[in-house]
Structure 1
């Protein structure tokens, strides 16, 4: 869904944007009309309707942002590489890092027609359609994790060593930079995680935020036509990336876009073990020795991300009006992760 009510703090200047696209996007013909995509808390995203067709613009938010966040230049680069590797993504046209155009970095890509679903239970689909969507999600992330970063021009897209340790350190820093109040569970996780890091898996490109609402489903068929929102992508441990994707199996619908407690077999959705085994068979990766560590790390990570949203809401720079409500979920998610840790010690 899109909305046309303008937020002067984030809405691009259409005249300057059209002039830039005329110079940088092949075949472009103006004028342009913008509408903002609803949902999401990261980079404000707009549909651009022009005489030459439909495009999508993703921009870095204005105002204070956390270190290393909202890197649209990296997102642009990985989209180019994924397209070459055969992963379903939108074609990108041009990147702008001149803040004089619309006030912050942005890039323009093709508009891909498709459906976005937020509820992983997919209540409007049949059992067979749900099964097909989950099979498509599984095979698509397996395809991403099967690519050799060197072969697609991403050998320098990130450091290749100690990914798990660096993730713990990064999200600890992000949380501390966005702290808005006490959270004993996060304090416990920041101490426990570095003490229980398992051996690394082979380095692959990791999406960083792969979940149902970050893929486009074909308008009429139960399959993925484009993977979205690559701003957190880097080189790293594919098992960690897959575990983050599988948080839907651990979160309830009320907590955060999950399906814990649902009758998955009746819905046509594979259970956690089945889904993991399918992925391992597709990628050829070894099964993790401590799968639960990856789930705990993933919960810690999303809690840190949500804490960043909470802080941006407090500072007035959040992309969406519901940022405070979304950000508040950092506390119960971190408590769920800490509960898993405590259960291991009982």
Structure 2
């Protein structure tokens, strides 16, 4: 996020204007494409996110799936490489931070097929991540509850898609039979997070 896109030849890498609105619409369409059961609260969460859309800071290169699983650490526990750039574009950098915070939050579900880094030895808490990011970037993180709620929504949609494919017999393997049970948990975390903001 500290890299000037123009300075590295990425000035035309994406369309940052209207980025959050497009993201919200895209994930709403994804939800509609895999809608096969009643999901209490998901439409309300989607609508509430749309009503509370924050003003984006200056655009940066956005990873799109930034989490501990997509970085390589050196022996000194410093990040040496960031992997999985296929969702990257120019957009709102706080979407990356919101996703990282979401993945660093406690699901409250032992033995979940989707894990977070909550409580992992040495991993900063969500509050520490936000504080460090704000200090290093100088960006205003006061609206971060929206970005984190959006991350919960986005993952709920992804998990519902996996669940839908599982019900059709298109996704097999250990843990996929429990993915559907997680969707309401992600929806509730999203709603709670947005209300706390």
TM-score by length of 2: 0.84
In structure 1, C-alpha distance between the alignment counterparts of 2:163 and 2:21, rounded to whole Å: 25
In structure 1, C-alpha distance between the alignment counterparts of 2:50 and 2:44, rounded to whole Å: 11
Q: How many residues align?
A: 194
Partner of 1:310: 163
Judge conservation of contact 1:310–1:323 (CA < 8 Å) in 2: yes
Judge conservation of contact 1:308–1:327 (CA < 8 Å) in 2: no
Q: Helix, strand or coil: the match of 2:41?
A: helix
Greater C-alpha Rg: 1
Partner of 1:283: 137
Q: How does 1:194-233 map to 2 (within 5 A)?
A: 194-218=50-74, 220-233=75-88
Q: Helix, strand or coil: the match of 1:336?
A: helix
Runs of 5+ consecutive residues of structure 1 not aligned to the other structure: 1-144
The reply on whether 1:178 has 2:34 as its aligned counterpart is yes
One of 177, 184, 187 as aligned partner of 2:43: 187
Q: How does 1:134-173 map to 2 (within 5 A)?
A: 145-173=1-29
Judge conservation of contact 2:61–2:91 (CA < 8 Å) in 1: yes
In structure 1, C-alpha distance between the alignment counterparts of 2:60 and 2:172, rounded to whole Å: 30
In structure 2, C-alpha distance between the alignment counterparts of 1:210 and 1:319, rounded to whole Å: 26
In structure 1, C-alpha distance between the alignment counterparts of 2:148 and 2:4, rounded to whole Å: 25
Partner of 1:257: 115
Judge conservation of contact 2:64–2:85 (CA < 8 Å) in 1: yes
Distance change in 2, residues 1:225/1:338 (3 Å): same
> Higher strand fraction: Structure 1 or Structure 2?
1
In structure 1, C-alpha distance between the alignment counterparts of 2:129 and 2:71, rounded to whole Å: 18
In structure 2, C-alpha distance between the alignment counterparts of 1:241 and 1:196, rounded to whole Å: 18
Runs of 5+ consecutive residues of structure 2 not aligned to the other structure: none
- The CA deviation string for residues 103-161 of structure 1, in whole angstroms up to 9 with x for no partner, is xxxxxxxxxxxxxxxxxxxxxxxxxxxxxxxxxxxxxxxxxx11122232322322111
Partner of 1:292: 145
- The CA deviation string for residues 147-200 of structure 1, in whole angstroms up to 9 with x for no partner, is 122232322322111211111111111111111211022111121111011111
- The CA deviation string for residues 183-218 of structure 1, in whole angstroms up to 9 with x for no partner, is 022111121111011111111111111111122234
Report the alpha carbon displacement of residue 320 of structure 1 after superposing the two structures with TM: 5.3
Distance change in 2, residues 1:334/1:207 (3 Å): same
Q: Helix, strand or coil: the match of 1:334?
A: helix
Q: Helix, strand or coil: the match of 1:146?
A: coil
Q: Helix, strand or coil: the match of 1:184?
A: coil
The reply on whether 1:274 has 2:137 as its aligned counterpart is no
- The CA deviation string for residues 57-79 of structure 1, in whole angstroms up to 9 with x for no partner, is xxxxxxxxxxxxxxxxxxxxxxx
Over the aligned positions, Cα root-mean-square deviation in angstroms equals: 2.5
